[in-house]
Amino acid sequence: MKQILIPKLLRHKGQEKLTCLTGYDAFHATILDESSVDMILVGDTLGLMVQGHDSTLPVTLEEIIYHARIVTRCATTKLVLVDMPFGSLQADVALNVEQSIRVFKDSGAGALKMEGATSEILTTIRHLTPMGVPVCGHIGFQPQSVHLSGYKIDGKTLPDQQRLLEEAQRLQDAGCFAIVLECIVDEVAKLITQSVDMLTIGIGSGLGVDVQVLVLHDLLGMTTGRMPSFVRQYAQLQRTALAAVNDWVDDVRSLNYPSLGESYQNPNQSLKSSEEMSEKELAKTVKFP
Ligand code: KIV
C-alpha cells in the first residue's frame, strides 16, 4: 500500500503543520497526489463545487462513492477522507454502520468524515473504529445543519466554548483520529487542539490547529461569487479559463484556428481511390495523429 497511513500523520501533531485540500475528480486528484499536500477530502462541498447546488444537502451516498472512487484511483499516495453525506447518518445506528462500511469499502478511502456529535453519531463511531474504519469528526459550523444554525462562527461565548471542548472530547473517546473544526473562534480551536490527541483539521479556525484544510476551488479561484474571509486565493483559474475559451472562439471566427499544422493534409497531390494507391501511400492515409 502506497497510501500514507494515519499513525504516520498523527506523529506530526504538535511538531509541524499538515495540509488537506478537497478534490472531487481525476484532474484534482492527479494534481494533489503530485503536490506536497498531506490529505485529500472528498467533501460534500461536491454539491456546490461540482454539481451546481447551493448547499451540500442534495449530495447522495452513490454520488460521494462515485467521486471518491475516482479520487482514490488517481491519488494513491495520500490519505483520502470521504464525507458521509446529509441523511446517510440518522437515528438508526445499525443502518449508519452499514452505510458507513459501504462508503469505506466501495470508495477505497482511508477514512470517513462525519458531521456532528449526536449520541447516534458517537455510537456509530464506537462501532466502526474497532472494525478498522478510521473516522474524522466535524464540529463548529456544520454545513449539513445550515437550515437550523444559519452561517455562524462558533465558540464566541463561554457556554459555546465549553460545549465545543466537550464535543471534541466525546468524539475522541468514541474513537475519532481527527476532527474538523469549522469556523470556530481561533483561541477556542487552539484550546481544543491542545486538549486532544486527535489531529484538529481547521477551516476558518485560525493558526492553532494541526491541519489546515481549504476547498480546492476556493484556493485556485475556480468559483465565482463571494468568498469567505478565511479563504486565500493562490490562482484565478476561472478567469484564466474564461479568457482561454474566448480566445479560441475569436480564433475560430477569424479563421485563425485551425492552422495548417493543426489540420491533416493529403500527402498526395492528386486524389486517388484506395485501389489506385500503393501500399505505402495507403499507409500514410491512416497515419494518426
Ligand atoms: O465538505 C467539505 O469540503 C468540508 C470542508 C469544508 C472541511 O467539510
Q: Which of 47-51, 96-100, 115-119, 282-286 has the lowest mean pLDDT?
A: 282-286
Burial code (b: 16+ CB inside 10 Å, e: under 16) for 144-181 equals beeeeeeeebbbeeeebbeebbebbebbbebbbbbbbb
Whether 205 shows a pLDDT value over 80: the answer reads yes
Average pLDDT estimate for 258-280: 79
Distance of CA 145 to the CA centre of its chain: 19
User: Are 198 and 180 within 8 A, CB to CB?
Assistant: no
- Confidence label for 288 from pLDDT (cuts 50, 70 and 90): low
CA distance 40 to 32: 7
* pLDDT grade for 118, boundaries at 50, 70 and 90: very high
In the chain, what percentage of residues exceed pLDDT 70?
Answer: 94
- Residue 282 is predicted with a pLDDT of 63
Which atom of ligand 1 sits closest to the CA of residue 83? 1
CA 195 to chain centre: 27
Widest pairwise Cα distance in the chain: 90
Q: How far is CA 104 from CA 57, 109, 139, in A?
A: 20, 6, 21
Q: Is 180 in the pocket of ligand 1 (CB under 6 A)?
A: yes
DSSP for 152-195, please give it.
--B--SHHHHHHHHHHHHHHHHHT-SEEEEESB-HHHHHHHHHH
Residues 19, 25, 28, 30, CA torsion sign = positive
Whether residue 276 is predicted with pLDDT greater than 90 in this model: the reply is no
What mean pLDDT do residues 55-72 have? 98
Whether the upstream peptide bond of residue 130 has omega within 30° of 0, thus cis, is no
Question: Which tens digits make up the pLDDT trace of 127-186?
Answer: 999 999 999 999 999 999 999 999 999 999 999 999 999 999 999 999 999 999 999 999
**Ligand 1 close to Cβ of residue 203 (< 6 A):** yes
Q: DSSP label at 5? A: P
Q: Looking at ligand 1, which atom is closest to the CA of residue 180?
A: 7
Give per-residue burial for 106-120: e unless 16+ CB within 10 Å, then b: bbbbbbbbbbbbeee
83 lines ligand 1 (CB under 6 A): yes
Cβ(213) to ligand 1 under 6 A?
Answer: yes
Q: Which three cell numbers stand for residue 67?
A: 467521486
Catalytic residue from among 62, 115, 120, 182: 182
**Residue 161 in grid coordinates:** 466554548
Is residue 40 in contact with ligand 1, taking CB distance under 6 Å? no
Please give the grid coordinates belonging to residue 35. Answer: 503536490
**Residue 22 Cβ < 6 Å to ligand 1:** yes
* d(CA 113, ligand 1 centre) in Å: 9
pLDDT at site 278? 72
Enumerate the β-bridge partners of residue 182: 140, 203
Q: Is 34 a catalytic residue?
A: no
DSSP string covering 190-206, please? HHHHHH-SSEEEEESS-
Mutation to probe ligand 1, out of 64, 113, 136 (largest number of atoms < 8 A from CB): 113
CB atoms inside a 10 Å sphere around CB 128? 22
User: Does residue 111 surpass a pLDDT of 60?
Assistant: yes
Q: Whose CA is nearest to atom 1 of ligand 1?
A: 43
**Position 269 pLDDT exceeds 60:** yes
Yes or no: say if 164 and 184 are a contact pair by the CB < 8 Å rule: yes
| CA pair distance 144, 45, nearest whole angstrom | 10
Find the radius of gyration of the CA atoms of the chain.
25
pTM of the entire predicted model:
0.92
Cell for 65? 462513492
| CA-201 nearest atom, ligand 1 | 7
The ligand 1 atom at the shortest distance from the C-alpha of residue 182 is 7
Give yes or no for residue 215 CB within 6 A of ligand 1. yes
Is residue 210 helix, strand or coil?
Answer: coil
Say which DSSP state 71 is in.
H
CA angle 188, 190, 192 (to 5 degrees): 70
Tell me what the mean pLDDT of segment 56-68 comes to: 98
